[in-house]
Amino acid sequence: MSNSIQETGVLNGNVSTTNSIFRTCDITGFKVDLRSEKLIRANAVASVVSLLMAVVAALLLVFTRYQPVHLLNAEWYYRLVTFHGLNALIFWIIFFEIAGLYFGSTVILNTRMCSPRWGWIAFAMMVAGLVISNIMILIGKADVMLTSYTPLKAHPLYYLGVILFAVGALIGVILFFGNLMIARRERTYGDSLPLVTYGLMTAAIIAVITLASGAIIYIPTFLWSLGLIQNVDPAMYKLIWWGLGHSSQQINVAAMVSIWYMTSFLTVGGTSINEKVSRTAFVLYILFICLASAHHLLTDPGVSSAWKVWNTSYAMYLAVLASMIHAFAVPSSFESAQRRWGYNKGLFEWLTKAPWGNPAFSSIILAVIGFGFIGGTTGVIFGMEQTNIIVHNTIAIPGHFKGTVVIGTTLTFMGITYYLIPLIFRRKIVGMGWAKWQPWLFFIGIALLSISMIVLGQLGVPRRHWDSTFSGGPFTYNFNPAVDFFWTLMMLGGTIAFLSVCIWIGIVVVSVFFGPRVNGPQDMQLKISPLAPEAKSHKGFEAPGTLVLTLIFLLVFLALFFLNWKWLAATWNVR
């Protein structure tokens, strides 16, 4: 993306306003709205700051749950559970996604930002919400954890901060739709939206549903904290809150999958082997994925068993079907492109000859593996009414989160950053050698952390509990001796993951603020692949290697599914 302005367009001695807001990318050829670019940069920087705060709290929590260290006292443990949850699951991810929405609706579509002024208002509200909420947490006025279930009450400013952030994010989503309308009216793209923008539109639609749920429950809770409302029914609060809490993670899924498709195109020139099917899968997300929020209510008496079964089985399966479609479509896009480049030997030459030295590629492949084998399998099993009861409210549930939001979404966002720094910030990556190892360290660390937490949960270790040994309590419980090993493994995984995030943040900060400038395609360390050549006529499957890998995944899932039902039978002593 060149710093020169596209078609300055001097008319009668004056610079044309329409053209002077753009520059032409000398690497991708896109028109880049300079005003949108500044907003993308601002939101991206805020997301990195949020992630730094989240991982510092996470490390302290890991060393507190590890009983031989037990770092924090009970008060600060619950305080940092709140702090970590809000910064990791809300602030870091949504700031990055707003940057992604602006990128996908202006840069990719070669169009202008519909209202930069409102974009900055939205950003200011989000930053204000982040600052206010975090201050309230750290001074001890909001020890209510992320879910903030009533009758737990935080300071009114905490709820105000969350509301400010949510409204700012909603304005950003509205601006995304405004950008799409301008692009459509000005015909800046072909007959249909590019697949990555289509996926981001899916994320934006889910975001509207999610933020509406948040407004419905947080506004009365804010008024309750002010004393203007007598009470907020806990059952009602929990039901509506999870329309925000769980659905916000489905925004992540849609955005994450969109980036997977984009990375396939950038790294090997790959495209979905059936784009209509991929788009249909995104539609299934819109229709059904939010219903999976019901699994958080499976032990609540306020909703009927029929409602629970419907939402955590039949309806949820259609969202799972969408994920299975993407689970095949994304790797097959890599394989199909690689085979068209000539890597045709056997089932897996396309994979062994893939650009593993490209940290964006390795991040996405590892994210696909982790999200599928850890987050996806446990998501379906823990989301069903029957098998959920084994792990409900145990540490296995946040272990599942680590397999989805962290190893899936966060690693994906980290990976695409290696392209966005030179394309948007116009800086070269500093420390490319470290960058090549960083995704692997992060994957190993989070995989160890996540699997350890899942196993600990299966052994009955509770979540959100400062002292799982119940020392000093009126009763004790002796866990299986194996928990000591998995506590240690969890601490090791958390430490490795923390170091990996520090490496990534260091690379990002040094590159953005001190890295050498990118002056043209010759300065791109990660090359953008041309579109793979047209496929030659062939017999059989277009992506046989991906088919085999998908079958392996299904076998692993079936094995885990059987083991959990077996565990359930043993727990209930069913003969």
- 10-residue block means of pLDDT along the chain (575 residues)? 32 40 87 93 96 96 90 93 94 95 94 94 97 96 92 94 94 96 91 93 92 88 94 90 84 93 94 92 87 80 82 74 90 93 90 94 96 90 83 90 93 95 94 95 96 93 85 80 92 96 96 93 90 76 90 93 84 66
SS3 564: helix
Determine contact, residues 179/113, Cβ cutoff 8 Å.
yes
| Tokens found for residue 16 | 């044309």
pTM: 0.92
Residue 70 phi, psi (nearest 5)? 45, 60
Residue type, 377: T
The pLDDT value recorded for residue 2 is 35
Q: What is the pLDDT of residue 211?
A: 87
Distance CA 82, CA 77 (A): 9
Q: List the beta bridge partners of residue 235.
A: none
- Residue 526 to residue 514: CA distance in whole angstroms: 19
Question: 115: helix, coil or strand?
Answer: coil
- The amino acid at 521: P
In degrees rounded to 5, what are phi and psi of residue 175? -65, -35
Q: Where are the alpha helices (H) located in 425-474, listed in sequence order?
A: 432-458
**Sequence-distant (≥ 6) Cβ neighbours of residue 219 within 8 angstroms:** 163
Rounded to 5°, the CA angle 240-243-244 comes to 105
Q: For strand 14-15 and strand 22-24, is the pairing parallel, antiparallel, or unpaired?
A: unpaired
Angle between the N-to-C axes of helices 359-370 and 411-420, in degrees from 0 to 180, rounded to the nearest 10: 160
Phi, psi of 14 (to 5 degrees): -115, 150
Query: What is the pLDDT at residue 29?
Result: 86
Angstrom CA distances, 22 to 19, 107, 272, 431, stand at 6, 10, 30, 31
Q: Which residue ranges form the domains of the chain, and what is each CATH number?
A: 30-468+480-531+544-568 (1.20.210.10)
Asked if 237 contacts 149 with a C-beta cutoff of 8 angstroms, the reply is yes
- On the 0-12 / 13-18 / 19+ scale of CB atoms within 10 A, 438 is buried
- Name the H helices within 403-431: 411-420
Radius of gyration of the chain (CA): 24
